[in-house]
Structure 1
Amino acid sequence: MQIEPVSFRGMPCLRIVADGARALVALHGAQLLSWRPADGRERLFLSERAVFDGRTAIRGGIPVIFPQFGERGALQKHGFARNREWRLEGEERGEAVFALVGDGSDADWPHPFHARLRIGLASERLRVALEIGNTGTVPFAFTAALHSYLRVDDLSQSTIEGLQGCDYEDSAAGGTLHRQHDYEVAFAGETDRIYNDVVAPLALLDGAHRLDIEQDGFGDVVVWNPGEQLCARIGDLAPDDWKRFACVEAGQVLQAVVLGPGERWRGAQLLG
């Protein structure tokens, strides 16, 4: 594995190269911005209107959501991890390891913690693992996700397989509860679903292309696309960007993780 510092849109980043695959990671949020397997085809979506000011969350790639998913709590939407500067700890067992440390001095989150993001590349596969450790003296609870924006050529020709039989909360319909009966999840208008207790491997089908998706440690899968109307109101997306991505997120959303002092939690998503 080779790791070298680069600048992208004026922001400090790291380029990772391994087995013919390439990834680009911003230190802001430890956010993957690009992933190209050995075949050279970009698999992640990054908005051309994404803001790179070192303060704003970057629209696209794989944002790290911690310690709060969405607005399910008192913190800012999706928590603070995606807006903080992470540091490269180094390479360990063929993975690039990034770290974010909190000492408990934050008034909104008075809990000491150590977060790590591990990124592993193979020729055709990407593995992203999030680790959270409680370094304080009292328990804390959190929710988390890897908010993966997966690039598609045409959303109208894209479906997700593997969620049949799963219950989901439909956030676009007021949080109503449903069961996925169809074998495929298709996209029609705004889609915002939290699938619970997902254990089977998934696949994103995009015309002639297929991307297999697995996860470990995360109990939920979030499927999101803003659709045409909501996309037009999101400032860091172009009006037609909704056609070019599907978010399939590994998440721990519906049931928070409770970590006691000295305990650690880990969740991972595997794409390939």
Structure 2
Amino acid sequence: MKSTISTTTQHDQPVIQVRTADGAEATISLFGGQVLHWQPAGGRPCLYLSEQATYDGKTAIRGGVPVCFPQFAAQGPLPRHGLVRTRTWRLVGQREIDRQVMLTLAIDSDDDTLAVWPYLFSLELTINIGARRLDMELEVTNTGADALEFTAALHTYLRVGEVELAELHGLKGLSYTDACDGGTRKTDPMPALQVDDPIDRIYHDVRRPLTLDDNGRTLQIEQENFSDVVVWNPWEAGAAALADLPDRDFRRMLCVEAAMVKAPVRLAADAQWWGRQSLIIGE
């Protein structure tokens, strides 16, 4: 069986649908350059996508893996989470290697981005879909004459059976900034993170893999060159305040995001930076 790659539309928006030779599936939206769906071979979907997401070509799609650049959240003067999650990317490369499918999407600065952020840039997002893993690598190039600074994240919405039963391992002993407590700096003493309230934390200097235990399914989360991990769930009141999120769906998702937030990346002219996140299903 060969892998298949097709360009089609979903909710009137252009998407790329992939099925690997091993049976893994993925859907990538060109609007936002965003992985919307990933299902490992023989498994169930690993990413959460809201049934009430908006697909109007202007509004960010709630779920999957939005790309945040050059600003994370509202931590700066730009639109929330930056400039590229509500713009259309282009497919610039596709190939199959060892039964895995690799796609490369790209987007560049233009007159609209320059009007709000006066820097020239080029982004590439390389997505590798394997039987049991999904790798996403974001590469940023400063194409201008002046140095620039940015923050970024792969805002990964993970699908869980019941968030209160899920356990996220690997954060013990790490310091974090707690946005639910006014930005207080704390240290996590727990061997596993369990969520039973709103959570909005940025863990710093994360150098080891994390493991999400979702009622018997194990997902390993690895990152390279991203120094922070954001963990977010809006809980009941927060979900009710979001028009594009069903009220009870906070129980079906947990965001675990590879990020560069605490220390912005500074790029000289013509310089490049990259960061990678990998999701790997346990045997």
Is residue 104–residue 112 contact of structure 1 (8 Å, CA) maintained in 2?
no
Q: Is 1:176–2:184 an aligned residue pair?
A: yes
State which of 140, 150, 157 in structure 2 corresponds to 1:142. Answer: 150
Counterpart of 1:237 in structure 2 is: 245
Distance 1:181 1:55 in 2: 41
Aligned-partner residue type, residue 214 of structure 1: E
Counterpart of 2:53 in structure 1 is: 50
Counterpart of 1:27 in structure 2 is: 30
Secondary structure of residue in 1 paired with 2:202: strand
Of 24-33 and 87-96, the range deviating more from structure 2 = 87-96
Counterpart of 2:14 in structure 1 is: 12
Q: CA deviation at 1:3?
A: 2.0
Q: CA deviation at 1:117?
A: 0.4
Counterpart of 1:2 in structure 2 is: 4
State which of 56, 69, 73 in structure 1 corresponds to 2:72. Answer: 69
Is residue 104–residue 111 contact of structure 1 (8 Å, CA) maintained in 2?
no
Aligned-partner residue type, residue 229 of structure 2: V
Q: 1:89-148 deviations in whole A, cap 9, x for unaligned?
A: 012565200000114662211111110000001100000010000011010000000000
Percent sequence identity over matched residues? 43
Distance 1:79 1:3 in 2: 29
Counterpart of 1:108 in structure 2 is: 116
Is residue 103–residue 111 contact of structure 1 (8 Å, CA) maintained in 2?
no
Q: CA deviation at 1:25?
A: 0.5
Aligned-partner residue type, residue 72 of structure 2: F
Counterpart of 1:126 in structure 2 is: 134
Distance 1:165 1:117 in 2: 32
Instruction: Spell out the pairing of 1:213-228 with structure 2 (5 A cutoff).
Output: 213-228=221-236
Is residue 27–residue 87 contact of structure 1 (8 Å, CA) maintained in 2?
yes
> Can you give the 5+ residue segments of structure 1 that lack an aligned partner in the other structure?
none
Distance 2:263 2:251 in 1: 31
Q: 1:178-226 deviations in whole A, cap 9, x for unaligned?
A: 0011110110210000000001110111111111100001000000000
Distance 1:103 1:150 in 2: 32
Is residue 104–residue 110 contact of structure 1 (8 Å, CA) maintained in 2?
no
Q: Is 1:78–2:81 an aligned residue pair?
A: yes
Distance 2:140 2:192 in 1: 33
Secondary structure of residue in 1 paired with 2:116: coil
Distance 2:12 2:93 in 1: 23
C-alpha RMSD of the superposition: 1.2
Is residue 118–residue 129 contact of structure 1 (8 Å, CA) maintained in 2?
yes
Distance 1:128 1:229 in 2: 31
Distance 1:114 1:226 in 2: 32
> Can you give the 5+ residue segments of structure 2 that lack an aligned partner in the other structure?
none
Aligned-partner residue type, residue 14 of structure 2: P
Distance 1:220 1:182 in 2: 18
Distance 1:133 1:95 in 2: 20
Q: Is 1:271–2:279 an aligned residue pair?
A: yes
Q: Is 1:210–2:218 an aligned residue pair?
A: yes
- Report the number of matched residues: 272
Distance 1:244 1:64 in 2: 21
Distance 1:134 1:257 in 2: 11
Q: CA deviation at 1:8?
A: 1.1
Secondary structure of residue in 1 paired with 2:51: coil
State which of 83, 99, 102 in structure 1 corresponds to 2:106. Answer: 99
Displaced runs of 4+ in structure 1, greater than 6 A? none
Aligned-partner residue type, residue 28 of structure 1: F
